[in-house]
Structure 1
Amino acid sequence: MKKLFTLILALLLNTYAIFAETIKTDVLVIGNGASAVTAAIQSSRSKLKTVLLVKGDWLQSMQGKEMVTIAANNKLPSGFWGEFRKQVNHLYKGMPGHDTTNFAPLKFESFAAAGILKQIADTTKLLTIKLNAAFATVEKDGTGWKVTYSHNGRVDNIKAKTLIDATQGAEVVGAAGATLPPPVTYADNLYRTSIATADDLGGLALSSDKTSYPETPAYYIPMSALVVKDADNLFITDKALLADASLPVQMAIGQGAGTMAAYCAFFKTTSKKLHVRIIQGELLDFKGYLLPFDDINPTDSYFKAIQQIAATGLLKGKQNIADGRAQFLFMPDSAVTTAEIKPVLSELYSRAFIWFANNKPAGQFTVANLLSFISEITLTEPKNLKSIMLRDWKNKYKFSTEFDTERAVTRREFAILANQYINPFSRAVDLNGRVIN
């Protein structure tokens, strides 16, 4: 009898080994909310093979017929949230009770939102969705992860290079024996590592520190908030915030996490070696915001350049109160001051100290000052640079002003030209926003 039992057990184990499925993927996302879906779509769009593991049915919490109204972030159509908002407006255009004009609060039925997200996900290449698939175990597999999950009455396996915990309770982090990142302390240059941003968090400020940048209600999520530090290549979404996030915030965080996970998988590296600028550049390519400027439209041909310059700290935004509402503004037509750019330029370029000592620019930084600085950094002959600028000022850059070297350079002009010629955004920073020399 004992021998017979042993034989049957061996046959059962062999049968499981034969029929159990093992999937290999670049990115694995576990969760059933908007951040999970957005993270999975983003990593797939970044050309990485992605699997989304859903415990139950598709977006179960969004299958009702109740009406949802979202007033926050209506002036910041950042990244995937902007794409989703556009599709909702297209669906409800012309229907009574739905104002689909720009900046109006977004109103939609919950199940309609779930349907839009499913439609986008189904047309996304490299994305595999497994519904009614509950994960069972999580363990390290080299620098990646091995996850077992139950599906259709059996237990299967997934091996992934990177893993995103998009569950509401950080269940994956717990199962992996890891710990959540501590709450973000907003200080110093952390804004330089922003991976998600918006203009409101449902009325709840992320920081009580009024000296933080940007000042609330505008805010950003730094990369470090999504990184599980004691477990390589494990990222979080919903639990990056202490409060429940609104739908736009969930999507912004999901898109950020998907971009970071895709970076690690593509470059075959770990979350300890994240390259902030490459990841932010990828996010900008998908129309994401790094800083929540109300006055810079994402359709602007130089939207990316302005965001990149702002992320270096050369030109910071300022809060303005209009009609009782706080706005975070870039003020593209305002003059650049020497005081605001000198500390950052000196931090980024060793030759800047010599240039400032020799040229001693006045309070307002002029077009001539900018051309002279570009010549110093790029070793370009000044007359040649001036000739090129005279030719390209209107034709290439489409500046509305006349080319006049003696006047103060505007913030828009400075952002575009500095980004083009000296590219300060290319200077690497660590996860604390400190420049890496």
Structure 2
Amino acid sequence: MIKKIAVLLLVFNCSISYAQSIKTDVLVIGGGLSGVAAAIQSARSKVKTVLIERDSILCNNLSGKAMEYVLADRNSPSGIWDEFRKHVVDRYHKTPGYDTIYNDPLKLEPSIGAAILANIADTVKNLSIELNTSFTNIVKDGDRWQVTVTQNGKIKTIKARILIDATEKGSVIAKAGATYVSNDEWKINDGTNAYRTSIAMGSFRPYRPLDTSQYKFTYIPSPEYCIPIRDFLAKGVDNLLVAGKQWRQPTNPFTYLRANLNLGQAAGVIAAYCAFYKTTTANLNVRLIQGELLDFKSCLLPFDDIGVDPYWRAIQQICATGMLKGVTEEREHHYVYTVLFMPDSIVTTAEIKPVLLETYTRAFLWFNANKLDKQFTVGNLLSFISELTLTEPDNVRKSMSRDWNSLYHFTSKFDMNRPITRREFAILANKFLNPFARTVDLNGRLVN
């Protein structure tokens, strides 16, 4: 009888132990804007995800009922931000005086914004949300992180392949023993190749008083920026990602609402990649990660003049290779800049030649064999396509003449001698040259 009781107690204790241990692919710590977005995206990328938040509600920093305006990052449709924005407009569109024009500053009550994000998260499969849950310890156990948490006075253990630190102060990084987190936002045209690995974006809009007539101000230039993959990686440990407020963002979450959602979504994709392929952050495939973000309509680069376009992805991919680059222009007020793709502008030989030579070994022979003018023509591109694809030039010309308007829906007439526009070049180069397929490292350098 005593033996039976002992066996029952052993089974009972094992059951309790099992109930207190959770195993998942990705664990997101911190239920703010970036944390919720990271958890949503990770789960949507089909890996098991757990989000823990110490408060009783998600996005607790979105509080209050007074209307707030989203001024920075308001224009470009991108991923979860665009989904969130549509929900906000649906919520308020019948409100008298509410402006639903897309490029008008988005306004909403913070509590409504928090509720919308929570509702989106509730609909996502593969996602478990644990509220009133704080972490107390983090250790690495083999290929998994073992995180001790407290929930309503009870101690639990969560084992995860990937950790995402979405806390306000980078608390997870410190607890895990990471020694450094990269903290750079890269300007679009900063002379480096970092933009080639961009997976999130944003813009800075400095505060200005409504009435400046009585004051003199000197403003720091405020360019739009992109955030490369390497800036999501903690240094000193593998499989720990960063998506919190260590990005030097201000206290008011509305100042960078879209940027926070973009940061979280990007971190979620990296985490899902590592979990799905059972690999580490030391072995990331930049193009696969960027491709997953594009699958979910999340922009890699912030072009304010490219909205709804059937070839939006082609433009993003070509510009991520550096074959075409955005043009920075001043907007609205002095020192506030926007990045434009300028789809109808003409492609110059000088801007595309360096990247073509870097990307394709046969490009050297082609440039030596062809005398080119300053402006790159439709015929020049078709000739290069013929060279790279080993297709007869006449066959390329006939095919393009047939498909120019009917398949690609270009509004111009097919003319081999006409300078090619940036949009036309992006669409055709993406399809026939496919430079986005070339592997790049975390610094944006091509890998042979």
The alignment's TM-score, normalised by the length of structure 1, stands at 0.91
Q: Following TM superposition, where does structure 1 have runs of at least 4 consecutive aligned residues deviating by more than 6 angstroms?
A: none
Q: Which amino acid aligns with 2:324?
A: L
Equivalent-residue separation in structure 2 for 1:19 and 1:374 (angstroms) = 60
Counterpart in 1 of 2:30? 31
- Within the candidate set 214, 221, 224, 1:218 is matched to 224
Equivalent-residue separation in structure 2 for 1:78 and 1:330 (angstroms) = 16
Equivalent-residue separation in structure 1 for 2:207 and 2:446 (angstroms) = 33
Find out whether 1:184 has 2:167 as its counterpart: no
**What's the C-alpha RMSD, in Å, of the aligned pairs?**
2.2
Distance 1:347 1:93, change over 3 A: same
Q: Which amino acid aligns with 2:271?
A: A
Equivalent-residue separation in structure 2 for 1:396 and 1:322 (angstroms) = 35
Query: Is the contact made by 2:182 and 2:232 (CA closer than 8 Å) also made in structure 1?
Result: no
Displacement, 1:77? 2.3
Q: Deviations over 1:320-373 (max 9, x none)?
A: 235436331111111111000000010011111111011121111111110111
SS in 1 for 2:328: strand
SS in 2 for 1:254: helix
Q: Deviations over 1:291-331 (max 9, x none)?
A: 1111111x211001001001111111112235436331111
Equivalent-residue separation in structure 1 for 2:64 and 2:75 (angstroms) = 27
Equivalent-residue separation in structure 2 for 1:203 and 1:303 (angstroms) = 32
- Higher mean C-alpha displacement, 424-433 vs 178-187: 178-187
- Higher mean C-alpha displacement, 73-82 vs 185-194: 185-194
Q: Which amino acid aligns with 2:153?
A: G
Q: Which structure 2 residue ranges, 5 or more long, are not aligned?
A: 1-5, 209-219
Distance 1:26 1:201, change over 3 A: farther
Q: Which amino acid aligns with 2:47?
A: L
Counterpart in 1 of 2:53? 54
Instruction: Map 1:54-93 to 2 at 5 A.
Output: 54-58=53-57, 59-93=59-93
Displacement, 1:20? 4.2
Equivalent-residue separation in structure 1 for 2:199 and 2:397 (angstroms) = 37
Equivalent-residue separation in structure 2 for 1:337 and 1:24 (angstroms) = 54
Query: Is the contact made by 2:197 and 2:443 (CA closer than 8 Å) also made in structure 1?
Result: yes
Displacement, 1:177? 1.0
Query: Is the contact made by 2:287 and 2:440 (CA closer than 8 Å) also made in structure 1?
Result: yes
Find out whether 1:400 has 2:411 as its counterpart: yes
- Within the candidate set 352, 362, 384, 1:373 is matched to 384
Give the percent of matched residue pairs that are identical in Structure 1 and Structure 2. 52
- Within the candidate set 249, 272, 281, 1:262 is matched to 272
Q: Which amino acid aligns with 1:315?
A: L
Equivalent-residue separation in structure 2 for 1:426 and 1:128 (angstroms) = 35
Query: Is the contact made by 1:332 and 1:412 (CA closer than 8 Å) also made in structure 2?
Result: yes
Query: Is the contact made by 1:67 and 1:110 (CA closer than 8 Å) also made in structure 2?
Result: yes
Q: Deviations over 1:99-151 (max 9, x none)?
A: 22221111111111111011100101111101111112111122331111112
Find out whether 1:238 has 2:248 as its counterpart: no
The alignment's TM-score, normalised by the length of structure 2, stands at 0.89
Counterpart in 2 of 1:348? 359
Displacement, 1:71? 1.4
Q: Which amino acid aligns with 2:194?
A: L
Displacement, 1:155? 1.1
Equivalent-residue separation in structure 2 for 1:68 and 1:327 (angstroms) = 23
Q: Which amino acid aligns with 1:242?
A: R
Counterpart in 1 of 2:319? 310
Instruction: Map 1:328-339 to 2 at 5 A.
Output: 328-339=339-350
Distance 1:435 1:400, change over 3 A: same
Query: Is the contact made by 1:189 and 1:432 (CA closer than 8 Å) also made in structure 2?
Result: yes
Query: Is the contact made by 2:205 and 2:222 (CA closer than 8 Å) also made in structure 1?
Result: no
Counterpart in 2 of 1:4? none
Equivalent-residue separation in structure 2 for 1:120 and 1:18 (angstroms) = 32
Q: Which amino acid aligns with 1:314?
A: M
Query: Is the contact made by 1:43 and 1:258 (CA closer than 8 Å) also made in structure 2?
Result: yes
Distance 1:328 1:401, change over 3 A: same
Counterpart in 2 of 1:44? 43
Query: Is the contact made by 1:336 and 1:365 (CA closer than 8 Å) also made in structure 2?
Result: yes
Query: Is the contact made by 2:182 and 2:230 (CA closer than 8 Å) also made in structure 1?
Result: no
Q: Which amino acid aligns with 1:43?
A: S
Equivalent-residue separation in structure 2 for 1:183 and 1:234 (angstroms) = 15
Equivalent-residue separation in structure 1 for 2:185 and 2:305 (angstroms) = 27
Q: Which amino acid aligns with 1:397?
A: Y
Counterpart in 1 of 2:299? 289
Find out whether 1:273 has 2:283 as its counterpart: yes
Equivalent-residue separation in structure 2 for 1:119 and 1:250 (angstroms) = 18
Distance 1:364 1:50, change over 3 A: same
Counterpart in 1 of 2:215? none
Counterpart in 2 of 1:3? none
SS in 2 for 1:26: strand
Equivalent-residue separation in structure 2 for 1:147 and 1:72 (angstroms) = 36
Counterpart in 2 of 1:207? none
- Within the candidate set 197, 212, 218, 2:201 is matched to 197
Distance 1:201 1:254, change over 3 A: farther
Equivalent-residue separation in structure 2 for 1:195 and 1:240 (angstroms) = 17
Equivalent-residue separation in structure 2 for 1:274 and 1:320 (angstroms) = 33
Q: Deviations over 1:232-262 (max 9, x none)?
A: 1100012451233621111110011111111
Q: Which structure 1 residue ranges, 5 or more long, are not aligned?
A: 1-6, 205-209
Distance 1:82 1:156, change over 3 A: same
Query: Is the contact made by 1:195 and 1:290 (CA closer than 8 Å) also made in structure 2?
Result: yes
